[in-house]
Structure 1
């Protein structure tokens, strides 16, 4: 198992390190977003792969901005996104002087622009994340189906603890539809068109360690070695009691033994990612939940 913490104008070539020195604290993701906002093409990130062993995960993200599409790989989602953003900046050959020109357009809520009188849902989510300090929305391709001339893509959009899924005849269309559903969910949770919803504070391991609630107390006493135990349900009950979210990501590649693989991500602070394998997807989910429960049990019991 592993733990992942989310935590010059005269020159026409773009040096990302030079730009970061000129704008301390700016990351490739932020610089690319500023460029995209200025030019009306916000970058969209998609998790293409999650693979590797539990102790050494590897993530692959693609970023699309206008007609440019690049990929990046890293040991965490954040690192992979940064690699993809840096590759896009190099590909675009951006002049650092242009990047710093203010040019945001916003709707009346100050969260996103509209293009041709149609709300840009992908942009709305990007702006919300950057303005409010949330993690950037993540788009993952869950499935590709259909014959070559009539492909169908299923994409999930994740925003903090929320998740929405949509289908489209292209990756772009599916991403857009998923983003639209996420905006609608945020508006529904806010009770109006203006998005006022805020994510729950992250659950820190100190809170779990100090918890005397029923499910946590039961976890401390449980051996976690009883055959045929539904660890997915056990994890669900615990997450509801303690106030964190659990998301399962299927890994396309099978293990060397031909087993399915899965990652269970817990919205704790720091974020926790645990690996599982099994003879089926559901078995892999159950194994990942088991690994996560073992990790929480160790962390919540240590002093």
Structure 2
């Protein structure tokens, strides 16, 4: 993809000047306007927020307009790609803030096939989730390596990304690749739950154990009164009913590694405050889930009965 359109409106417009500027950017390892603006926002506790204002033009020649808001400043930028428009907007904001970006690196490097390479601002899903959590006061995303497999020259890593009550799992040939893939899946899930590319999903408020102790609802009352030792009980269903009544979510995480006895393992995570995580094992995945649900119910029963 051509780098035309990334030039700042205040920069020279001649073709020679544009080429010289682009060449200087490529040879300079400095940061992009978006990175500089992000660092400025991080230091000041007010991260920049980007929004797409307009997308028009033909498929082979699109035009995008993005706005960026930081503190009481709002700027727009236009370009032939989303990355270009965001960089223009960030550069304009830096000028208003009187922050000299210097000679920044080219936000888009052309590949031999003419397709723009992904850079820091192209939805770097790990960064997107990090910013989302900071902006909205959510818990920061957590990444856990569940499994490492394969010979030394061809390792395969399985990583889980957890964000609030949601979880996604992905595989990669390195921890970094698996983490990135899991983050991309999480962004996709958030967009799916939001019904559009703009993430509007919000997590349910965390349920504190004080609420469980004070609740006189049917399911929690039955849990306090009845034993959890009846054979062949569907504890997963009991947990589901209780979670719906009390307003928390339950997520089950399968652990690929078997126990020393060859049993399946599972974790049940409850979106309570603090978060509750219980372990379960069984001769099958479903049995492990049921055992984890049983352990979680036992824990809630204890916590909800403390006076």
The two structures have a TM-score, normalised by structure 1, of 0.56
Q: Which of these residues, 248, 267, 274, is aligned with residue 244 of structure 1?
A: 248
User: Which stretch of structure 1 is more off in the superposition, 264-273 or 123-132?
Assistant: 264-273
- Could you tell me whether the CA contact under 8 Å between 1:266 and 1:272 is conserved in 2? yes
Determine if the alignment matches structure 1 residue 232 to structure 2 residue 175: no
- Could you tell me whether the CA contact under 8 Å between 1:145 and 1:152 is conserved in 2? yes
- Could you tell me whether the CA contact under 8 Å between 1:38 and 1:103 is conserved in 2? no
The answer to which structure, 1 or 2, has the higher relative contact order (CA under 8 A, 6+ apart) is 1
Q: Which of these residues, 222, 225, 230, is aligned with residue 226 of structure 2?
A: 222
Where 1:119 maps in the other structure, the secondary structure is: coil
Give the C-alpha shift of residue 41 in structure 1. 12
Give the C-alpha shift of residue 174 in structure 1. 2.1
Counterparts in 2 of 1:104 and 1:209: CA distance versus 1, 3 Å: closer
- Could you tell me whether the CA contact under 8 Å between 1:232 and 1:285 is conserved in 2? yes
> Rg bigger for which structure?
2
Where 1:195 maps in the other structure, the secondary structure is: coil
Counterparts in 2 of 1:300 and 1:180: CA distance versus 1, 3 Å: same
Give the C-alpha shift of residue 161 in structure 1. 0.7
Determine if the alignment matches structure 1 residue 273 to structure 2 residue 277: yes
Match of 2:205 in 1: 201
Give the C-alpha shift of residue 244 in structure 1. 1.2
Q: RMSD value over aligned CA atoms? A: 3.8
Match of 2:178 in 1: 174
Residues 202-242 of structure 1 deviation map (CA, whole Å, 9 limit, x = unaligned): 11223323334443233233211112222223212322332
- Could you tell me whether the CA contact under 8 Å between 1:157 and 1:178 is conserved in 2? yes
Residues 269-289 of structure 1 deviation map (CA, whole Å, 9 limit, x = unaligned): 122233445556554443332
- Could you tell me whether the CA contact under 8 Å between 2:38 and 2:48 is conserved in 1? no
Q: Which of these residues, 160, 167, 185, is aligned with residue 189 of structure 2?
A: 185
User: Which stretch of structure 1 is more off in the superposition, 148-157 or 235-244?
Assistant: 148-157
Distance in 2 (alpha carbons) for counterparts of 1:126 and 1:163: 15
Q: Which of these residues, 158, 161, 165, is aligned with residue 161 of structure 1?
A: 165
Q: Which of these residues, 50, 54, 62, is aligned with residue 107 of structure 1?
A: 50
Counterparts in 2 of 1:100 and 1:131: CA distance versus 1, 3 Å: closer
Give the C-alpha shift of residue 186 in structure 1. 1.6
Counterparts in 2 of 1:251 and 1:103: CA distance versus 1, 3 Å: same
Residues 67-100 of structure 1 deviation map (CA, whole Å, 9 limit, x = unaligned): xxxxxxxxxxxxxxxxxxxxxxxxxxxxxxxx96
**1:36-185 equivalent positions in 2, closer than 5 A:** 107-108=50-51, 115=119, 118-185=122-189
- Could you tell me whether the CA contact under 8 Å between 2:147 and 2:257 is conserved in 1? no
Distance in 2 (alpha carbons) for counterparts of 1:235 and 1:103: 40
- Could you tell me whether the CA contact under 8 Å between 2:206 and 2:272 is conserved in 1? yes
- Could you tell me whether the CA contact under 8 Å between 1:38 and 1:101 is conserved in 2? no
Name stretches of at least 5 consecutive residues in structure 2 with no aligned partner: 1-33, 52-67, 71-85, 88-117
Name stretches of at least 5 consecutive residues in structure 1 with no aligned partner: 1-36, 43-98
How many residues were matched structurally? 210
Counterparts in 2 of 1:260 and 1:41: CA distance versus 1, 3 Å: farther
The two structures have a TM-score, normalised by structure 2, of 0.55
